[in-house]
Structure 1
């Protein structure tokens, strides 16, 4: 039999637990009831249909009057919408719920990117650095104009069109996944054009003097880091405390020197270098294998190791135990980026407009200028077709002249 009373603090207080849970219905708001558990816990619920109800909290945290007020509000919403709005919202599919760009990236896009892209975490970090001002906006409220404004601002600030386009591609990917996964009906950035003036044929390589300065800057950096460690340890020794172990004389002080020297001698991309594992290095055959999983083209390739590359890797191997990454980050995981150390090195070497990726261009350019045919260069770089490699063709003028010289004019 339905137990109904005009609920009051005294009535609620007097309700004693029994062997089975029971309800006391309020006569003031008939859809409101107090549920008394055998444990003694008393909680409020409002029922808007024969089979649907919602918890309003526990007594005494929620008072009688507070429970009545909240119950009336939810009953009005039920009359207007068929159920309380909070219930309707909770029952929506995740794709139908309002979500900010930040939450979508953190909860959905980032896990996908890290799992499916070899530079997934770097992509996620770059997204926030460039598009962070849009993170608080709801995904469905971001329009093309929002992105156009940021694109224009970056171009005016001196960012190259290639850089702007690369970051534009990243955010486009976010919205493409949002459409694919049902969070958006249409892609909001379809009308956003790529920045004009991007030159993908850019080839920047080191002159003889620049390469000498780069190598000297590497040596100077190593020497200064060793000297700094010695000063640090001397300070500790004078106070009877323990310092840090000095690096071996035949080793490196950190990853930068071996990373740069290996890039100069193999032409590997930064992501490929950071993804290399010791199992990919065959010292006996002097071959470095770039697995398909870390290659941009998703095709594996083999790169012969010259004398300097072999020496660098053997020297570095003595400092990196185990069979994991060749260039591990903190805790043995993949290194995130080397921007700070590289920028400091480039500044010390006085390299104007020279990026870490240009070490790859330097490798290819020197091969072409040494007379290596373009198809061989293509294979070493891992280009999927010859078009990308043709940017280096102008560096072999003598081969072109030799080809034309084979023609004989008719008398």
Structure 2
């Protein structure tokens, strides 16, 4: 008999659809057993060399390793992300990857949050794990869907983007200029305030990328090269600085210490990034176009740049002129 029930209630399939090709499998229900038998018979007739795949027993850490070997190694932050993924797999108890489900993911996230992990960090970790499944599915390494797609990220409170006022800009540049033991921080900050560049982008500048009224950033987050117009005076200052002090070095730590010595109190995580926000904010407040700002900052989408739109002088003014009461007169609003 091809299908029979075992004493423990499970169902045993023992089928030989083609002589010499025999398949055996134990399943929980009769329906599963019948489907397996039917699949074996039809597939064996269509493709004589067909054989049912064994269940994927690889654990999450194995998938993480495969992700790094096949995809992560080519990413700029691949090594850092790989370390985070390995730690996540260990924290989850390194389960069989196929058996990870929504309930297990929600439980892990709750444990992270109760241990003090921020919502943003929890979202990032789940996003990294989601990419492991999705990338390996694209590469045909796994044939099942990503369980992390079922979990919605935590909705985070949008943080206000702090920026420096003109007096604060003067105070900061004066403080940086006095740091004679670390001369690079003043010039790097000046470049960031003049172009909206990230600190790392300005820090990686080389002489051949500064000239003819342009500063060209090649080591960008979006992987795109972008050139920003600057004054001839700034170009001359940068080259004079390099002639005296050599190329820029890693000086973000010194900048943070110098910032602490001023009256400026930037939000957490916005120490050097406040320079980029300052350029963007003043650009928009002075009447700059939001799409132009997107290109200057090198944002991949306009959604990122729209964070600064509320600073525009005319932002949402149409609410006054085009609202339902705009044409009405004599209406008292108590």
Q: TM-score normalized by structure 2?
A: 0.60
Over 3 Å counting, the alpha-carbon distance change for 1:403 and 1:108 in structure 2 is closer
Q: Which of the two has higher C-alpha Rg?
A: 1
* Partner SS state of residue 278, structure 2: helix
Counterpart position of 2:129: 171
| Equivalent residue, structure 2, for 1:305 | 230
Matched, 1:315 2:231: no
Conservation of the 8 A alpha-carbon contact between 1:368 and 1:392: yes
| Aligned partners of 2:119 and 2:156 also within 8 Å | yes
Kindly indicate whether the alpha-carbon contact (under 8 Å) linking 1:371 and 1:399 is maintained by their aligned counterparts in 2. no
1: CA distance between counterparts of 2:257 and 2:93?
31
Q: For 1:190, what is the secondary structure of its paired residue?
A: helix
Matches within 5 A, 1:260-299: 260-270=189-199, 272-273=201-202, 276=204, 278=206, 281-283=209-211, 285-291=212-218, 294-296=220-222, 298-299=223-224
Equivalent runs, 1:44-55 vs 2, <5 Å: none
Separation (CA, whole Å) in 2 of partners of 1:258 and 1:397: 30
Q: Is the 8 A contact 1:144 1:189 kept in 2?
A: yes
1:40 maps to: none
Following superposition, the deviation at residue 382 of structure 1 comes to 2.2
Contact 2:57 2:96 in 1 (8 A): no
Structure 1 residues 136 and 370: CA distance shift in structure 2, 3 A? same
Is the contact made by 2:266 and 2:274 (CA closer than 8 Å) also made in structure 1? no
Distance 1:204 1:124, change over 3 A: farther
2:304 corresponds to which residue? 388
Q: 1:99 to 1:130 in 2, by over 3 A?
A: closer
Shift of 1:262: 2.8
Q: Give the secondary-structure state (helix, strand or coil) at the position aligned to 1:185.
A: coil
1:318-338 CA-to-partner distances (Å, cap 9, x unmatched) read 5456xxxx65x7xxxxxxx95
The DSSP-based 3-state class of the residue aligned with 1:289 is strand
How far residue 160 of structure 1 moved from its aligned partner, in angstroms, is 5.2
**TM-aligned CA distance change 1:348 to 1:301, over 3 Å:** same
Matched, 1:367 2:283: yes
Contact 2:102 2:147 in 1 (8 A): yes
Q: What are structure 2's unaligned runs of at least 5 residues?
A: 1-52, 322-326, 330-334
Q: Distance in 1 between matches of 2:118 and 2:103?
A: 20
**Kept after mapping to 1: 8 A contact 2:196/2:297:** yes
* C-alpha RMSD over aligned residues: 4.4
Compared CA separation, residues 176 and 385, structure 1 to 2 (3 A)? closer
Partner of 1:189, secondary structure, is helix
The answer to whether the 8 A contact 2:71-2:135 is kept is no
| Unmatched 5+ stretches in structure 1 | 1-92, 227-246, 330-336
Q: Which moved more, 1:202-211 or 1:184-193?
A: 202-211
Change (3 A) 1:140 1:397: same
Residue aligning to 1:351? 265
Report the Cα offset of residue 266 of structure 1. Answer: 1.7
1:130–1:167 CA contact under 8 A, matched in 2: yes
1:206 aligns with one of 151, 161, 164:
164
Query: CA contact under 8 A between 1:280 and 1:288: conserved in structure 2?
Result: no
The whole-number CA distance in structure 2 between the counterparts of 1:138 and 1:310 is: 60
* Alignment-derived partner of residue 110 in structure 2: 152
Q: With structure 1 as the length reference, what TM-score do the two structures score?
A: 0.51
Distance 1:386 1:114, change over 3 A: same
Check conservation: 1:267, 1:363, Cα contact below 8 A.
yes
Aligned residues: 267
Q: Distance in 2 between matches of 1:390 and 1:369?
A: 13
- Matched residue, 1:185: 144
Once residues 387 and 401 of structure 1 are traced to their aligned partners in structure 2, the CA distance between those partners, rounded to angstroms, is 20
Which of 47, 53, 58 aligns to 1:98? It is 58
Distance 1:258 1:150, change over 3 A: farther
Asked if the contact 2:56/2:98 (under 8 Å) is kept, the reply is: no
Distance change >3 Å, CA 295–CA 96, structure 1 → 2: same
In 2, distance between residues paired with 1:168 and 1:368? 35
